[in-house]
Amino acid sequence: MGTARTGNSINGSSHSSINDDFEKKADSSEYDQFKRSTASESTKEPTFFNEMGWSATGLEEELDEMDTIPVSQSFEPIALPQHNVEAQFIIRKHISDQLLDSLQKIQEHIGEPSAAIFARKIIELILDMRDRIPFDPFLDVAMALYDALAYKNLWVKYTADQYKVAYKILYRLINVKDIKDKNTDKAILELEELGFNVLPFEVSIDLDSET
Amino acid sequence: MKKRPNPRLYKVIFETRYKPDLSFYENYISAARQLTGYPDWETDRLRVILKNFKNHCSVAITFKSFSYTQDSENRSLEKNNMQNLLKSLPSALNISSFLRYGYRNKYIIPVNMPFHSLVSIFELKFHSQNDKMNNFLIGKVKDVGYSFDFEEKPFSYHLRIGPMKQNQMKSFLEFNKKYHLSAETEVADYEKILKSYPQIGIYADIDVYQESENLEASTALTFVNKAREKSKIIINNINDYILE
């Protein structure tokens, strides 16, 4: 508890202070997890989150201001330490309660301009979830729904019944603490079978012309 | 159903204030003698402190207030001691009315998660998620603490709450070493107590009070019983809200 706040700087000193903080943690597995996530952030290709400006806010601007960057001192975006399952579950539950509420309300307003308010709320809540608990498996399903709703305003085409079943699919997963891949895959497939366009960006490949 | 951790009570303070009266100095020692269960005591002739090192509790009697402090979780001990205190002291000190009652509980809800996760949960549940607010909270929020004052007549409340690491708990829980630990074993005992605090927890300081020009002395025990219940309700609701 306290009032001191520090910015999320990309310079080396801030990074090392976070590392120092974690060095002190008694739980070594947590520290290892953090080390792994930091290391992977520094080497991997730009991710969806990086592209969205999530983990490296202001990085581009600061890099532009630098004349040269010595290879040995290359910048590493600061990885958000991963939440433990318990905390992830609480955050998911808090946001999802509002998400389910909006999924219920949109059913009552389908075909009316007011439906846009709830569609927007759903989309914002999913993005909030992405920012806060990017490692939660539940996010895979939520993002599939996001793609199906946000792309080209597809939300307007779905019926109240489709939203009703989507509600049930999400509701089933929200209270599962340890979500497995097979659970998320199944839920996404169910959304797709329900008529939600969970892959709006897919490119159709003409296999015949290749052969 | 998810099992939530139980809030743990670490400190109880009760204080009542009254109009100073010169007759206090004739009565305070005899009043103190009526209280049993405090083998140790000290006085500077202006006040008297009764101490029980074993149960980590004490009573302080001064010309304008008397108080009970306990640095342990033992609720039944606290109830008994409060009952004895309020049954004997007002009449022994010739006090017919009070100016203020205050009943304060300090809790820790131990959690099994890293500090940054607990801060994230607090931020999510207590902050307005308004973009303009995020504009002046630059970067990532590293720590938070909240203070609320509210009122439900006739009671008023101060509530302080926040995520806390073990090394901060010492200064917030304020264990009374001087009155609640024997001088011979103080250092070792205090060390042990500090180590027993959870690594990470939610700190909650709930202060229930009632002020008036004329609080009848007979209402003191009723106040304490109600304040204790209110305090329990508040801490359980905090636990439900934050960790749900």
Q: At what angle do helices B115-126 and A85-108 cross, to 10 degrees?
A: 20
| DSSP 3-state of B235 | helix
Indicate whether A35 and A120 sit together in one domain: no
Is the model's pLDDT at A179 over the cut of 80? Answer: yes
Is the residue at A105 inside a domain? yes
Q: How confident is the model at residue B133 (pLDDT cuts 50, 70, 90)?
A: confident
Residues whose CB falls within 8 Å of the CB of residue A144, separated by 6 or more in sequence, listed in order: A187, A188, A191, A192, A196, A198
Per-residue confidence (pLDDT) for residue B129, from 0 to 100: 73
- B-proximal residues of A, 39-78, CB under 8 Å: none
Per-residue confidence (pLDDT) for residue A120, from 0 to 100: 94
The arithmetic mean of pLDDT across residues A158-177, rounded, is 93
- B-proximal residues of A, 75-114, CB under 8 Å: 80-81, 83-84, 86-91, 93-95
Is the model's pLDDT at A171 over the cut of 80? Answer: yes
Which of B124, B163, B244 lies at the smallest CB-CB distance from A132? B124
Is the model's pLDDT at A107 over the cut of 90? Answer: yes
Is the residue at A24 inside a domain? yes
Q: Please, are residues B240 and B158 in contact by the beta-carbon 8 Å criterion?
A: no
Which of A1, A4, A7 lies at the smallest CB-CB distance from B163? A1
Indicate whether A94 and A159 sit together in one domain: yes
Residue boundaries of the structural domains of chain B: 8-243
Comparing CA positions, the residue from B9, B15, B10, B7 lying closest to residue B224 is B15
Half-sphere exposure of B170 (CA within 13 A, CB side): 9
- The pLDDT mean for chain B works out to 94
Indicate whether A50 and A95 sit together in one domain: no
Gyration radius of chain B over CA positions? 20
Is the residue at A121 inside a domain? yes
Is the residue at A63 inside a domain? yes
Per-residue confidence (pLDDT) for residue B139, from 0 to 100: 81
* Proportion of chain B in helix, strand, coil states, percent, rounded to 5: 40, 30, 30
CA distance B182 to chain A (A): 30
The arithmetic mean of pLDDT across residues A6-28, rounded, is 36
Per-residue confidence (pLDDT) for residue A49, from 0 to 100: 33
* Closest B-chain CA to A8: B139
Residue type, A79: A
Q: How far is the C-alpha of B166 from the C-alpha of B187, rounded, in Å?
A: 18
Q: How far is the C-alpha of B103 from the C-alpha of B78, rounded, in Å?
A: 12
Indicate whether A45 and A101 sit together in one domain: no
CA distance A83 to chain B (A): 6
What's the structural domain count of chain A?
2
Indicate whether A118 and A174 sit together in one domain: yes
Indicate whether A30 and A100 sit together in one domain: no
Q: How confident is the model at residue B140 (pLDDT cuts 50, 70, 90)?
A: confident
Is the model's pLDDT at A105 over the cut of 90? Answer: yes
**pLDDT tens by residue, B64-112:** 999 999 999 999 999 999 999 999 999 999 999 999 999 999 999 999 9
Per-residue confidence (pLDDT) for residue A209, from 0 to 100: 63
Comparing CA positions, the residue from B22, B19, B23, B59 lying closest to residue B39 is B59
CA distance B117 to chain A (A): 6
Residues of A in contact with B162 (CB under 8 A): 1-2
Q: What is the ipTM of this complex?
A: 0.78
Per-residue confidence (pLDDT) for residue A199, from 0 to 100: 83
Q: Could you tell me the two tokens for A160?
A: 């109240």
Is the model's pLDDT at A162 over the cut of 60? Answer: yes
Indicate whether A96 and A166 sit together in one domain: yes
Residue with tokens 């990309």: A10
**pLDDT tens by residue, A53-76:** 333 334 344 434 444 434 444 444
Q: Is A96 exposed, middle or buried (0-12, 13-18, 19+ CB in 10 A)?
A: buried
Q: How far is the C-alpha of A65 from the C-alpha of B224, rounded, in Å?
A: 63
Does the beta carbon of A195 lie under 8 angstroms from any beta carbon of chain B?
no
**pLDDT tens by residue, B172-203:** 999 999 999 999 999 999 999 999 999 999 99
Indicate whether A97 and A179 sit together in one domain: yes
Q: How confident is the model at residue A80 (pLDDT cuts 50, 70, 90)?
A: low
- What does DSSP assign to residue B4? P
Q: How far is the C-alpha of B205 from the C-alpha of B197, rounded, in Å?
A: 16
Per-residue confidence (pLDDT) for residue A27, from 0 to 100: 42
Q: At what angle do helices A115-132 and A85-108 cross, to 10 degrees?
A: 170
- 3-class DSSP string for chain A: CCCCCCCCCCCHHHHHHHHHHHHCCCCHHHHHHHHHHHHHHHHCCCCHHHHCCCCCCCHHHHHHHCCCCCHHHCCCCCCCCCCCHHHHHHHHHHHHHHHHHHHHHHHHCCCCCCHHHHHHHHHHHHHHHHHHCCCCCHHHHHHHHHHHHHHHHHHHHCCHHHHHHHHHHHHHHHCCCCCCHHHHHHHHHHHHHCCCCCCCCCCCCCHHHHC
Residues of A in contact with B114 (CB under 8 A): 25, 27, 30, 81, 83-84, 87
In B58-112, which residue ranges form alpha helices assigned H by DSSP?
75-92
Q: How far is the C-alpha of A166 from the C-alpha of A100, rounded, in Å?
A: 9
- The pLDDT mean for chain A works out to 71
Is the residue at A203 inside a domain? no
Q: Report residue B35 CA to chain centroid gap.
A: 21
Comparing CA positions, the residue from B197, B104, B122 lying closest to residue B159 is B104
**pLDDT tens by residue, B214-239:** 999 999 999 999 999 999 999 999 99
Cβ distance A7 to B145 less than 8 Å, yes or no, reads no
Q: What is the pTM of this model?
A: 0.76
Which residue range forms the structural domain that includes residue A138? Answer: 85-193
No. of helices (H) and no. of strands (E), chain B:
8, 9
Q: What angle do CA B141, B144, B145 make, to 5 degrees?
A: 165
Q: Please, are residues B85 and B227 in contact by the beta-carbon 8 Å criterion?
A: no
Indicate whether A130 and A37 sit together in one domain: no
